[in-house]
Structure 1
Amino acid sequence: MYKKLSTRTANRLLCGGQIINISSVSADGVSDVMTAAWNCPYDADQVLIVLDRGHTTTANILDNGKFVISIPSEDDISVINKVGAAHGRDVGDKFAWAGIESDKSQVLGLKVIPNAL
């Protein structure tokens, strides 16, 4: 049976990606973290994420090629909403701005939200 969906519902179903956080750092050493939903597995060892060219995260990744994807827990909803509500270019270090005591990623040493996968 055919069922008409709202654009919002259709986008949510098509996206299919888990809410993720993407941590990055600028060439000047300013840490950034953003909330993103446009992601999906691409291959067994690759993920596809969609970022707008205007995002601070995009500029950081293009500058140094470093980023960390983490999957937050349900307990972090307030944190992911907060870091998703501001641009790094407007607030600087989002971890400091949001009052998040960060962990460091194991490989790249970038700041990440604690207790995330």
Structure 2
Amino acid sequence: MVFTAFSTWVELLRGLCPSAILWINGGFATYKNEPPKDVDVAALIGKNDMNSWTSDQQVTFETLLTDVRSDGSRIQPMGGLVDGFYAIRGDIDQSVVWHESWSAVYVNGVRSVGESKGYLEVRLADG
């Protein structure tokens, strides 16, 4: 069910951003004893894609993103099965933030200093 929701999410995103790059992380991309509850994904979106959207396309894009509220709670797309975020492709500051976050290693909920891990990169199209 998680994979089906993610596949649908990707197809919706592809309609808006055909050359997006996806950085996939979390339990979906990492071995754990329990099955994943969702897919954690940061989409690197081209500024040209975003600038060409109609207002309806902008609204569609916003429905694909996780809303993190001030109290720390989240509203996730696809019935909570996708934790979707984005960064502007080519913006080094935004890319570094997601790379640092996605490559961090946590042990018992505490970030392990000096350790890092990989994450999955998927390119929707050559671009």
Q: What TM-score, normalized by structure 1, do the two folds share?
A: 0.27
Q: What TM-score, normalized by structure 2, do the two folds share?
A: 0.26
Q: As a proportion of its length, which structure holds more helix? A: 2
Q: As a proportion of its length, which structure holds more strand? A: 2
